[in-house]
Amino acid sequence: MKEKNNIEQFDNLFKQQLENAIVQPPVGLFEAMSSSIGSAAAVAKVSLLNKLFVGAILVSGTAIISYYLVNDIKKIATKENIALKITNINSDEQPANNDIVLSEPQLKSINKKEIGNLVKSAKPKAIVNEPTTKKVFNDNKSESVEEKNSINNYTINTNDLPKSNEEGQILTPKVDSEIVEQLEPAHVKAIDSSYIFIPNAVTPNGDGLNDEYLIDIKGEDRVQIIIFDKNLNRLFETKNKSIAWQCTLPNGEIAPNGDYIVKVIYTFKNKDQQIKTVKLKLIK
Amino acid sequence: MVNVNADNYSSIITECIDRQPKAQKKLFEILAPKMYAICVRYAKDSDDAKDLIQDGFIRLFKNIDKFENRGSFEGWAKRIFINTCIEYYRKQQKEQLKVEIENTPEFSIDSNALSLLKAADLMLIIQKLPMGYRTVFNLFAIEGYSHEEIAAQLGISINTSKSQLFKARQHLQEIILKQELQ
């Protein structure tokens, strides 16, 4: 009991001395922030600046988007080209020469691997650091033994094949090697932009802070948010991540203090679902 | 320090809603010393305290039209600043590692010795606390929040809040004793 009193005394001392303490702030603070509090005089300038700024963002944004779009289209186009070229070679040219027929499985396997690499490099989120098998297509005659071995892993033993110089020339039209060179993936960095933060408290008291309940979600995946009260009555439901719950009951009144349940159903792009349930505290 | 009673606030508030720079400056001058004291208690250094008071005032002026004449204006303003500080804690918490103090011996301090300490000393002592202890102690002892409220606001468990408060007190006593010895 005595200890409790001591503690109370201790806390009280701080409370008495500091609750209404006064510390003079450094000078010039108000002037430094006057542009951000929207003084009537500053508003005109700010809004003009904002317009300019937003304009600049829009312009640069569209530039960036169109750049990526063009790039993507290029990628897709070249990818299809290659696929077409490869099928052409397979179907038309091979019967003409016995040597090539021998190497058909080899060619196919290379194609598969090559396409695999292309597909990988086309995915925005993947990290592609492997070297391409560009050299296989290369008509350069000095292929190293290692590379040949790696081909062997896929299909047939090159020892049984005629020396690869001849095939190499026949099998690889120059166009292909150029395309492959273009598509050689640069180091694509993985940026996982998905992010979710589910707050566990909301205070609809009109002080401008946490007056509405908004779950912070970034990412392209689909999401469904449902809010229940203690008796599991549905109070709010949305599939739009930018809509906040205004802490109202179905009849329009502001919800009373207490605990609520937030259920977030998160559907990933690959249709996987993750459900998260959080207790929400409402304090006015 | 300008003395303003409740009636005077209402006229300033209406002027601030119209975003009149003079009124805003006046309100800033009236409130800043009190609010800065709050910010200093929560911030880890004076740079952060400056950021906090600016953030708080930006929010205050933005939301001043939402103030209903239910309670005192100063109380409402204080709450905005405390909320700003709580948010600051959350941001900092993501970056910093927990500082644990184990085996701190228990000791009680003579209350007479304590009463000699002035606000300025106590302010300095509080600033020496680690972030987590400081925030919980401020909220509990000075702002009068309950452990439940603290837990909800800071996103920690009630037991964490309790143990942080306990450790904060121990830490404070340690700092005070050290100062007395010097």
In a 3-state reduction of DSSP, which class is residue A8? helix
Range A186-211 average pLDDT: 72
Higher-pLDDT residue of A242 and A82 is: A242
Task: List chain A residues with CB under 8 Å of B165.
Answer: none
CATH number reported for the structural domain that contains residue B165 in this entry: 1.10.10.10
Alpha carbon of B167: minimum distance to chain A alpha carbons (Å): 12
For chain B, give the percent of residues with pLDDT over 70.
Answer: 82
Query: What is the per-residue pLDDT across A102-148, written as a single tens digit (0 to 9) for each?
Result: 444 444 444 555 555 554 444 444 444 444 444 444 444 444 444 44
User: B118 with B169, same domain?
Assistant: yes
Lowest-confidence region among A185-189, A212-216, B37-41: A185-189
The first and second tokens of residue A238, run together, are 């949305």
Domain boundary among B53, B88, B123: B88
Lowest-confidence region among A146-160, A206-220, B24-38: A146-160
Q: Which domain holds residue B127?
A: 111-181
User: B55 with B128, same domain?
Assistant: no
The first and second tokens of residue A112, run together, are 């598969």
Residues 50-79, chain B, touching A (beta carbon < 8 A): 50, 53-54, 57-59, 61-63, 66-68, 76, 79
DSSP annotation string for A96-159: G-HHHHHTHHHHHHHHHHHHHHHHHHHSTT--B-SPP-HHHH---S---HHHHHHHHHHS--GG
Strands A258-267 and A222-228: antiparallel
Query: Quick check: B25 contacting A, CB < 8 Å?
Result: yes
pLDDT of residue A266: 83
Task: List chain B residues with CB under 8 Å of A23.
Answer: 33, 36-37, 40, 123
Does position B139 have pLDDT exceeding 90, yes or no? yes
pLDDT of residue A170: 44
User: B137 with B65, same domain?
Assistant: no
What are A273's strand-pairing partners? Answer: A267
Residue A140: CB atoms within 10 A of its CB come to 10
Domain boundary among B37, B53, B88: B88
Higher-pLDDT residue of B105 and A62 is: A62
Q: State whether A281 and B152 contact (CB < 8 Å).
A: yes
pLDDT of residue A221: 76
- Counted domains in chain B: 2
Summary mean pLDDT of chain A: 64
pLDDT of residue B145: 92
- Confidence class of residue B85 from pLDDT cuts 50, 70 and 90? very high
pLDDT of residue A166: 46
Inter-residue contact B143 to B153 (CB < 8 Å): no
Query: What is the per-residue pLDDT across B26-76, written as a single tens digit (0 to 9) for each?
Result: 889 889 999 999 998 998 888 889 999 999 999 998 888 888 877 888 889
Range A162-183 average pLDDT: 47
Query: What is the per-residue pLDDT across A247-267, written as a single tens digit (0 to 9) for each?
Result: 888 888 888 888 898 888 888
Pairwise CA distance, residues A199 & A279, whole Å: 9
Query: Quick check: A30 contacting B, CB < 8 Å?
Result: yes
Q: Which whole-number Å values give the CA distances from B93 to A102, B81, B86, B88, B130, in the listed order?
A: 65, 18, 10, 8, 11
Domain boundary among B36, B55, B88: B88
Q: State whether A3 and B117 contact (CB < 8 Å).
A: no
Q: State whether A34 and B19 contact (CB < 8 Å).
A: no
Q: How many residues does chain B have?
A: 182
Strands A273-282 and A201-202: parallel
The first and second tokens of residue A71, run together, are 């790039």
Summary mean pLDDT of chain B: 81
Inter-residue contact A135 to A143 (CB < 8 Å): yes
Inter-residue contact B59 to A197 (CB < 8 Å): no
Pairwise CA distance, residues B22 & A96, whole Å: 91
Lowest-confidence region among A53-67, A175-189, A263-277: A175-189
Pairwise CA distance, residues A247 & B129, whole Å: 37
Identify the closest residue of chain A to B51 by CA–CA distance.
A29
In a domain, B102, yes or no: no
CB nearest to B142's CB, from A19, A23, A26:
A19
Higher-pLDDT residue of A135 and B11 is: B11
DSSP annotation string for A5-46: HHHHHHHHHHHHHHTT---PPPTTHHHHHTTTTT-HHHHHHH
Q: How many residues does chain A have?
A: 284
Range A189-196 average pLDDT: 60
In a domain, B94, yes or no: no
Inter-residue contact B25 to B35 (CB < 8 Å): no
CATH T-level topology, domain A195-282: Immunoglobulin-like (2.60.40)
Identify the closest residue of chain B to A38 by CA–CA distance.
B19
User: B59 with B124, same domain?
Assistant: no
Does position B110 have pLDDT exceeding 70, yes or no? no
Lowest-confidence region among A113-117, B119-123, B145-149, B160-164: A113-117
The 8-class DSSP code of residue A210 comes to: S
CATH number reported for the structural domain that contains residue B84 in this entry: 1.10.1740.10
Does position A14 have pLDDT exceeding 80, yes or no? yes
User: B117 with B176, same domain?
Assistant: yes
Range A209-222 average pLDDT: 81
Lowest-confidence region among A30-44, A70-84, B78-92: A70-84
pLDDT of residue A207: 77
Task: List chain A residues with CB under 8 Å of B141.
Answer: 11, 14-15
CB nearest to A22's CB, from B37, B142, B172:
B37
- Token pair 């800033």: residue: B28
Does position B147 have pLDDT exceeding 90, yes or no? yes
Pairwise CA distance, residues A151 & A158, whole Å: 8
Q: Is the dihedral of CA B69, B72, B77, B81 positive or negative?
A: negative
Say if residue B133 is exposed, middle or buried (CB neighbours under 10 Å; 0-12, 13-18, 19+).
buried
pLDDT of residue A108: 45
The 8-class DSSP code of residue B10 comes to: H
CB nearest to B80's CB, from A3, A207, A283:
A207
Rg (CA), chain A: 33
Does the interface ipTM go beyond 0.95?
Answer: no
In a domain, B93, yes or no: no
- For A46, residues 6+ apart whose C-beta sits below 8 A from its C-beta are A35, A38
pLDDT of residue A270: 78
Query: What is the per-residue pLDDT across B162-176, written as a single tens digit (0 to 9) for each?
Result: 998 988 988 888 888
Domain ranges (residues) in chain A: 63-183, 195-282
